[in-house]
Chains A and B, each alone.
Chain A
Amino acid sequence: MIESKDLIRNSKVIVMLGAGGVGKTTSAIVIALAAAKLGKRVALLSIDPAKRLAAALGIPLSNDLATLSIPQEYGITGSVAAAMLDQKAVFDQMVDRHAPTRDAAIRIKANSIYRAASTNLGGPLEYMALAKLQDLSADARYDLVVLDTPPDTHALDFLARPNVLDGFMETKVMNWLVRPFLVAGRLGLGKLLSASERLMGGMAKVSGVEPLRLFAEFLVLMQDVIEGFHKSGEATAELLQRPSTRFILVSIPTHTARRSAENIFKQLRELSYKPELLLVNRCLPEAVTADLLSQEQDHQLATYVLKANGQREVIEKLMSMAPNIWRLPEREHDPGDLAGLMDLVAALSHQK
């Protein structure tokens, strides 16, 4: 069993993974605070716009890191700087950094595919934002980066292919559809469009020609940026494979959440990442479980007896999957303030 202190001390990047609604963002904050308590200077990257947690931390979360002011009474010797990633802002930064000229950057940002991809449509490009992880891990001001991943299913896509456009570039479609546009891009975009459009006959039956044309234009414009993405994707992949990068899988004691956890665990293994441990949130407090299971209970408590038995059953199953499990108790109230979060930090430090 890994002690929480050891795990935190020996990590430079901690990636939190889990299905939606299991308390992943809260856990990320708790881990960050626990590390700061050990004297680490922590950068916490969140993607979850949980306003209440931002309020609990006492800072408006934005795309830029802001340092939390934590009252001395909590005995925190390190620091936590937190940011909530804004997909569009990070994407724009990437474009500014990698586009060959300022003019090219402006044209990219005006392309309607780019605008849609980088703002309101979300989707697979959202984890481009995690390029930020790369920057921060190389930043000497921080000892540890804690990364909270998207609450849905995209997190693993990001781990499997840190650069989604890179994957796209290799495909047949790329040759079939976009190469002529890339050539056209060099020769002057306008002329070759109609010739290439013939190649797109099949696709156009589904989509119409205009989206493809815009998309090809997008790719032509993005050529240099994509190369930049590619390099940063490779670097991110390397970073994720380092031994000082740890994966913490977050779950709760229900069968549904257990299945999700098992599924993520399996996929991580297939990607040759090693999930270090499983954090099980929202367990009934030990004293309550013991009380519920110890004796004949008032029939009014029947629901809770079922819950205690059920949780025990799930946790046993989880233990057969992951040898390292930390259990955090459900709190009577939401851990919506710093005091509540620090209680969880204390509970974490007792985990062995």
Chain B
Amino acid sequence: MDPSDLMHIYKDIFAKKLVLITGKGGIGKSLIAAALGQFLAEAGKNVLIVQNASLDQISPLFGLAPGYDEAVRVQPGLDVLNIDAIANFRDYMVEHLGQKRLYKTVFSNRTVKGLIDAMPGWADVMLLGRLLFETELRPRHDYVIFDGPASGHFLNLMTTPDSVLSMSFGGPLAKETQRVKDFLSDQAKCTMLYVGVPEELVVSECLDFLPRLLKVSPVSVGGVIMNRTPPPIRLGQNPDVQLKPAERYAVRHSDAAEEALAMLAADLRGEKGTLDSIPMWALADFGFIKEPLPAGFGRQFLTPLRRIDRVGASS
């Protein structure tokens, strides 16, 4: 698909500066973040992908070693940052507050880790604060994409500002937290993508999760992506011909996916239809992702197989 057409398809997403990505573990969140980043970078934008993971899983997709705490430029216009709470705290003190000396004299890594580990909510608030910093306070990129944690943890992350505020500490921490919350609530600036795959278990989790998230999250949901939708299979009609194992597998695989997508459409778009306005796209299954990702991968990957609409109105 032509880049400008793709830009148009995702125009509501790309109208925001910060895109948060979540979904069940292992369904391709990092790959989607990488594909979005690569596509935007190839369209001439400057993009930062932020992760908060034990291992940077995005730099390797571009053929580079995993990064820690410092941004890695993986291709022109695309930076990847994997940051933990300690580094976030350091950068917050040094870069944001300009307290390099205080940081050096008072805080050792161990101290900071001990403190952050023990203070509930701090690591999360600092992570969200980092997104605010990169997007708004010192923007060095046109877009910030947050390759977020899996759904359960993400839900906790989104409720952290309220939890911290409810402790009514007052002082700078509360002020920062309020600022972070206001920023996340700004629909003109932030949006969220939920990623799933067309499998029954994942879809039922999505149906359970999205309404709960919508209830507590300050960020609005800008779209749902169903990743790894298998290609439709058309085999000969002769019922006497026995299918080979691979054919049988492919047919069942694709039938199961169709069923799962139908379930998603029915439950989210049907009478209960609370999520009627959220666009949903099915993306194709690529079978296996080879590394490094070739140029143009993002464009190809993000080209929707189709939009998931109301039951019977799939196009």
Contact = CB atoms under 8 A, between A and B. Distances in A.
Interface of A: 19-22, 49, 51-52, 112-113, 116-117, 120-125, 151-153, 156, 164-165, 167-168, 170-174, 176, 202-211, 214-215, 252, 254-257, 259-260, 263, 284-285, 287-288, 290-292, 297-298, 300-307, 309-311, 332-334, 336
Contact of A116 (B54, B167, B200, B231): B167
B119 A211 contact: yes
Most buried by A among B60, B153, B289: B153
B117 A164 contact: yes
B132 to A, nearest CB: 16
B287 A305 contact: yes
25 contacts: A19-B26, A21-B24, A112-B167, A121-B120, A123-B120, A123-B124, A123-B156, A151-B25, A151-B152, A164-B117, A171-B115, A172-B110, A210-B170, A211-B167, A256-B31, A259-B57, A260-B55, A300-B233, A301-B247, A301-B250, A303-B231, A304-B249, A304-B250, A309-B288, A334-B200
A303 B230 contact: yes
B256 interface: yes
A20 B113 CA distance: 24
A343 B25 CA distance: 24
Nearest to A173: B111
Which size class do B's interface residues fall under? 35 or more
B313 interface: no
Interface stretch (B71-79, B171-179, B263-271): B171-179
Contacts of B24: 20-21
Given A116-B121, A256-B57, A205 B102 contact: yes
B274 interface: no
Given A20-B25, A260-B55, A173 B115 contact: yes
A260 B249 CA distance: 28
Contact of A156 (B54, B57, B159, B201): B54
Contacts of B108: 171-172
A205 B100 CA distance: 13
Interface in B13-32: 24-27, 30-31
Nearest to B61: A256
A153 B171 contact: no
Say what secondary structure dominates the interface of chain B.
Answer: helix
Contacts of B53: 153
Given A52-B204, A116-B121, A152 B153 contact: yes
Contact of A207 (B111, B173, B250, B286): B173
B57 A260 contact: yes
Contact of A332 (B27, B234, B252): B252
Contacts of B309: none
A258 B106 CA distance: 39
Contacts of A121: 120-121, 124, 156, 160, 163
A168 B93 CA distance: 20
Contacts of A256: 30-31, 57, 60, 289
A124 B86 CA distance: 14
Contact of A205 (B30, B97, B289): B97
B289 A291 contact: no
A159 to B, nearest CB: 13
A57 B103 CA distance: 51
Nearest to B174: A208
B247 A257 contact: no
Contacts of B153: 122, 152
Nearest to B204: A52
B289 A210 contact: no
Contacts of B230: 303
Contacts of B312: none
Given A22-B26, A255-B291, A336-B201, A49 B244 contact: no
Contacts of A204: 171
